[in-house]
Structures are given as structure tokens and as C-alpha cells.
Chains A and B, each alone.
With several copies, the nearest count.
Chain A
């Protein structure tokens, strides 16, 4: 068992013939992910890796492959349209890897997708990995082993650090979910924590946060009130300089929250063990 993706995932790749799309499709297929089709407008009818059909639109791909998930590798300026297209085609799970999507676009995407009952992971995220079943994203497959620890993270490569440290300790992951670090995105910590709480194969959870926003604080509240499974955490950015200030408005909206110290305090108050460096996290769950 796992969450979000597994052996039954039938994946589309939007931007499959691009550099990154093709590289990571190759990696995903090598891992055993069931990539059923790809989309590159203007290249419909071609084939990728000799067995994956390319379509001109997500709609055509969905009709021909009965896909139930899609991963997006298109450039930032086209990514919003790709997300709209996937949602309109009725794909229930969208993973957007692309980084650099404009915030105004993401606000529109998120508000539109919320009406459609579509789950979005990302953008600017490493995607999903259910070790041994499906790799839907760019997390290197060989750095994680299957197990019973759910991992959720706002960061990309920092997540790899943690998975790698887990593996070195012989600790496996049920599913690793990279939700991405953008200010406006799809799935958040609380959504994933709820899924891990409900997943019988997940026994413990690692949550990797960073400075900015207040998603970690909300997660702490959720853990304190709703979660029965143990959670360990790490918050990146203790030494980071304060980010660009959004005028007075930023201070008014975000209030005093958002620092690493605040987040660590909230998490520890919720009974979460917080590590000093990423390689320490798995040891806290031993």
C-alpha cells in the first residue's frame, strides 16, 4: 500500500519529447512506472522509447490510454495551460514538476482546479515516489527503498538527502511526496498528512519543511489534534537571510510567522521530533 501512486498508476507525460521530459520518462520507465502516453502538441502520432505513443492533446491521450495521472515537464510559461488542459480532460491527479510558474497564474490554476475535484502536486516539486511500485517525478529511484515511513516535503533535493539517509539506515518509504516550495501550489502538508494517517501501510511520517508561509504551523496543529502516527521533521533555513519583503502588506498578511524558529517551536509543541540536520531525521524514528 501507498498513497497517490502505485502499480495501478497509468501515467501521461506532458512535454514528453522535450529534453527534461524525455530524460525523466526514460528514468521513470526504467523504474517500472507505467507510462501509457505522452503529449507534445504537433508531435501526435510519434513514439517515444519505441512503445509510448505521443498525442497532440491530453484529451486525445486520455481517450486512447485511460490514463489516471499526468506529469508536467513543459516550460514555466506553458505550464498553467498544461494544468488547465489536464484538469479539463478529466485527469484526477496532476503532478507539475516545472519551476518558475508565475504566482498570478498559479492562483487562477489553483482556484479553478479546486472547483474540479482535481488533485495537483506542485508545481516546482520533485513529484512522487512509491518505492518498488512507481516513480512519478524526478526523485532518483535508487536512493530510496520500500518501507513504512511516509515522507512529505516542500523541498526537492533536500528530500533526496533524507531518502538517501533513510536508505543508508535500512529505513524504507511507503510513499515520498514532494509538494513543492512555491508560494501558491496544489496539495499541502495537511492534505498529505491526512493521507498518511489513513494509509494502513504507513506507520511513521517524516515531514520536511522550510521557512516562509505558514503551512508547517498548520501541519503542527493537524498533527497535534488529528494524527496518531509519530512524525519527525526538519526545517530548512535557520541561517537564511530574511526574504524579500513584500512591502508592508507582506508583514500584515504573514504576521510574525514563517521563521524556522517559529515552525520548530510549533512542531515540537505538537510532539514532533525536529532534527538538527537532515541526515539525523531517520534516527529520530528508530
Chain B
């Protein structure tokens, strides 16, 4: 789960990381008020859960409250990468001497958290990483022991941070580790961490991602989820424990297992079709889940055929078949459906579907071919 910049920075602040003064606003009028309270120069920053806000005109500098209101109005009217801007963060502007990149994330290859830092922070950090990898410092953290102060100092040394800032940087690093650990984050990123002209370290921008699988013990964070920023079908899918991603093709798929779901998409493409979605019903999918999945797939108007590919293991094919029947009864789909059931209780599943009007297939290749054909015929 992604958090907004303002949410991330509020968490940072709670853990003792300095952030600029400021607050979030939902209207231009509010933005003006905040600007009045803050005084001085102001930054207006769109709060959307995608990157590239700056290039899209979603971050602006205002010299006074009136200007702040005007710019907030403009930004609140924007749509960035398909997402309408619903909130802006109104921060006091900082005079910047240097921009540092600093993050803690998990390194799956090392099976450990890792600190990443660079003296060349800012929006071009990925380019720096690709072209001048020696400018990036990476230090792994023992997940049982946690971050040790000497490692934070090693980062400071590694990015040639002037010595006068080592103590403050170490405090920020230890605090960011606590943020990462205590929120079950998969990412806690400060970019840029700036040295201001007044010789202070401040986290100017922040980004956090929380492990969805840990939200059960993070009720406060779970409530921060901004569903405005998500595709409604994906919200609906999550409610049922389904993993759904909408795509641009015409063949809907419902598959159990992420690997097989991706493979089914690959094979649809291989036989000339275009997948309309990724949908993994997960292990042990029951009738209710399957029915929800079918509803979600069929809300996509582009779908011209649906491929069900279920290989039973934890998932039992008879349960899936029941779900399909429930959903068909409810949704009364008008597009052709190709179904393939193999594995645990496949026989029972097939029997249940015998009287439903569905195309059946033996192999995945066969199923994909039939789905592609059916979609063409339907046109």
C-alpha cells in the first residue's frame, strides 16, 4: 500500500525526522489559509500516488497566499497519469544547498533491509544509479539486530556528507529505520533530504509503501489507504482477496495462481489475443470469491470472451464450478466463456458445469485458442 507524501512526512515527523512546516489542503481556499499561516514562500504539491508530479506541473512555488490559492486551484484541476489531483500539500519553501537521496527498503536478493543513499539526490536519482552506480551507497541491515549507529555513520561517510551533519544524519537514519520497522514498510524514502542554506537537514519529500500482508497489525496505517486513488474494480477485488489488474485487451481471464495467471495471459497473446486483465483468485478460492471475480471481469466493457483456467491444488475445482454457476445466474453474461478445469476435484467440477452453456478445453493452449476464436466470432 502506497502512502501519500503528506502521510509519509507526518509519520517521519512523529519519529523525529525534521520536515518543512505545512499541511494538506483539499481546496484552493484552504491552501490560501495555510499559506497565510506559514508566511513567506510556499510550495504547492499535488498529492497523487504516482511519480513524475513535477514534470506534470503538479508542484509549484508561490510567493504569497494569493498566488498559493491560484496555483492550488490550477493543480487541483490537474489529472496526473490518469489520476485526478484531489489534495495538495502546502509547505513552507526551503532554501536548498544540497539534495541527498536516502531510503530504506527490502533487498529481496539479500533477504535483508538495505539503506540506499546518494549525495546526488533529487528527481534524477535513477539516472544516477544507472549511469554512475559508484555514487550510490548501499548498506544492508541485519533484520534481527536492526540498524546500528555506526552503519548510519558509514552512510554519511560514503556520501561525503560534511562532518558537521553526521550527528543529525545519524539521528535521521535511526529514526527512518524505526519508521520502516515499526510500520512494516517495504519502502521508506526521503528524496530529497536537503541541506538548507540555514545548515539544517530536512526531509523535503517522503514516500512510503507498507506491506499489504502486514496491515493486519497496522490498523492505523490501513485506514490511511486512499481508495480515491485506485481503480474501483481493484478495490472490489481486494475486498474478496482477489488480485486483479485491469489491462487493455479483450479476453478476460480468471486463473488460480499468479504464475499461471501470467502464463495464461502470455498464451492468449501467443495465440493472437490480448488479455483484458490479470486476475488471480488465489489459493483455496471458494464459490463466493469466484463469483466476485466473474462480476469484476464482466464490468470491463472491453471483454469479448472469458477464459477460466483452474488447476486445482488448494483450490478445488468443484468449488470454482459452484462459484461460476452462482455468478452466471446473477450476472447473466452475454460473452462466450471458455472453461478449463484440471486437478483437485476437477471431475466433480466438470459435472457441475455440464449443463451450463460453456466451451470446455483440455489444455491451456487449446483453451487460449478457443477463447481467442470465440472473441473474434462474437464481433
Count of chain B residues with a beta carbon within 8 Å of a chain A beta carbon: 80
Q: Are A41 and B153 in contact (CB under 8 A)?
A: yes
Q: Are A157 and B266 in contact (CB under 8 A)?
A: no
B282 part of interface (Cβ distance < 8 Å)? yes
Residue ID in chain B nearest A57 by CB atoms: B154
Question: Chain B nearest CB: distance from A110 CB in Å?
Answer: 5
User: Which residue from A110, A161, A164, A256 sits with its C-beta under 8 Å from B111?
Assistant: A110
B39 part of interface (Cβ distance < 8 Å)? no
Within 8 A of A (CB), among B294-335: 310-316
Q: Which A residues are in CB contact (< 8 Å) with B149?
A: 78, 81
B58 part of interface (Cβ distance < 8 Å)? no
Q: How far is the CA of A242 from the CA of B279 in the complex (A)?
A: 15
B69 part of interface (Cβ distance < 8 Å)? no
Binds A, one of B23-31, B88-96, B255-263: B255-263
Q: Are A112 and B145 in contact (CB under 8 A)?
A: yes
Q: Are B108 and A213 in contact (CB under 8 A)?
A: yes
Q: Which B residues are in CB contact (< 8 Å) with A105?
A: 214
A20 part of interface (Cβ distance < 8 Å)? yes
Q: How far is the CA of A135 from the CA of B237 in the complex (A)?
A: 32
A49 part of interface (Cβ distance < 8 Å)? no
B35 part of interface (Cβ distance < 8 Å)? no
Whether A160 contacts B105 in the complex (CB less than 8 A), given A24-B314, A104-B143, A239-B262, comes out as: no
Question: Chain B nearest CB: distance from A250 CB in Å?
Answer: 7
B125 part of interface (Cβ distance < 8 Å)? yes
Q: Are A249 and B105 in contact (CB under 8 A)?
A: yes
Q: Are A236 and B263 in contact (CB under 8 A)?
A: yes
Question: Chain B nearest CB: distance from A4 CB in Å?
Answer: 18
Q: How far is the CA of A138 from the CA of B107 in the complex (A)?
A: 29
Q: How far is the CA of A188 from the CA of B311 in the complex (A)?
A: 24
Binds B, one of A94-102, A192-200, A221-229: A94-102
Q: Which A residues are in CB contact (< 8 Å) with B265?
A: 239-240
Q: Are A279 and B363 in contact (CB under 8 A)?
A: yes
Q: Are A157 and B256 in contact (CB under 8 A)?
A: yes
Q: Contact string, A238-274, partner B, CB cutoff 8 A, digits 1/0?
A: 1111001111111111011000000000000000000
Q: Are B191 and A160 in contact (CB under 8 A)?
A: no
Residue ID in chain B nearest A19 by CB atoms: B284
Q: How far is the CA of A242 from the CA of B112 in the complex (A)?
A: 23
Count of chain A residues with a beta carbon within 8 Å of a chain B beta carbon: 83
Q: Are A247 and B148 in contact (CB under 8 A)?
A: no
Q: Are A160 and B163 in contact (CB under 8 A)?
A: no
Q: Are A107 and B106 in contact (CB under 8 A)?
A: yes
Q: Are A253 and B107 in contact (CB under 8 A)?
A: yes
Q: Which A residues are in CB contact (< 8 Å) with B166?
A: 41-42
User: Which residue from B104, B186, B189, B213 sits with its C-beta under 8 Å from A248?
Assistant: B189
A25 part of interface (Cβ distance < 8 Å)? no
B83 part of interface (Cβ distance < 8 Å)? no
Q: Are B275 and A214 in contact (CB under 8 A)?
A: no
Q: Which A residues are in CB contact (< 8 Å) with B316?
A: 23
Whether A156 contacts B105 in the complex (CB less than 8 A), given A41-B166, A253-B116, comes out as: no
Question: Chain B nearest CB: distance from A232 CB in Å?
Answer: 15
Q: Which A residues are in CB contact (< 8 Å) with B267?
A: 277-278
Count how many pairs of residues, one from A and one from B, have CB atoms less than 8 Å apart in the complex: 226
A140 part of interface (Cβ distance < 8 Å)? yes
A210 part of interface (Cβ distance < 8 Å)? yes
Q: Are A240 and B311 in contact (CB under 8 A)?
A: no
User: Which residue from A58, A60, A154, A247 sits with its C-beta under 8 Å from B207?
Assistant: A247
Question: Chain A nearest CB: distance from B355 CB in Å?
Answer: 25
B18 part of interface (Cβ distance < 8 Å)? no
Residue ID in chain B nearest A110 by CB atoms: B111
Q: Are B364 and A277 in contact (CB under 8 A)?
A: yes
Within 8 A of B (CB), among A101-160: 101-108, 110-112, 126, 138-140, 143, 153-160
Q: Contact string, B48-90, partner A, CB cutoff 8 A, digits 1/0?
A: 0001000000000000000000000000000000000000000
Q: Are A157 and B189 in contact (CB under 8 A)?
A: no
B233 part of interface (Cβ distance < 8 Å)? no
A203 part of interface (Cβ distance < 8 Å)? no
Q: Are B150 and A241 in contact (CB under 8 A)?
A: no
Q: Are A56 and B153 in contact (CB under 8 A)?
A: yes
Max chain B Cβ within 10 angstroms of own Cβ: one of A82, A161, A247, A276: A247
Q: Are B186 and A155 in contact (CB under 8 A)?
A: no
Residue ID in chain A nearest B313 by CB atoms: A138
Q: How far is the CA of A237 from the CA of B260 in the complex (A)?
A: 9
Question: Chain A nearest CB: distance from B11 CB in Å?
Answer: 15
Q: How far is the CA of A30 from the CA of B348 in the complex (A)?
A: 18
Q: Contact string, B180-215, partner A, CB cutoff 8 A, digits 1/0?
A: 010010110101000000000000000101010110
Q: Given A110-B111, A213-B108, A238-B269, 19 more contacts at CB 8 Å?
A: A41-B150, A85-B150, A100-B213, A103-B186, A104-B181, A106-B111, A111-B144, A139-B313, A153-B259, A154-B259, A155-B257, A156-B313, A164-B311, A208-B259, A237-B263, A239-B275, A249-B189, A276-B270, A278-B267
A-B contact pairs, 20 of them (CB 8 A): A81-B150, A85-B148, A103-B106, A108-B144, A110-B111, A155-B258, A155-B263, A157-B257, A161-B263, A161-B342, A184-B108, A184-B111, A213-B109, A239-B268, A241-B245, A246-B209, A277-B263, A277-B267, A278-B263, A279-B363
Identify the 7 closest CB pairs spanning chains A and B, nearest first: A155-B259, A157-B257, A102-B214, A158-B259, A85-B150, A249-B105, A157-B260
Binding site for B on A (CB under 8 A): 19-20, 23-24, 27, 41-42, 44, 56-60, 76-78, 81-82, 84-85, 88, 97, 99-108, 110-112, 126, 138-140, 143, 153-161, 164-165, 181, 183-184, 208, 210-211, 213-215, 234, 236-241, 244-253, 255-256, 276-279
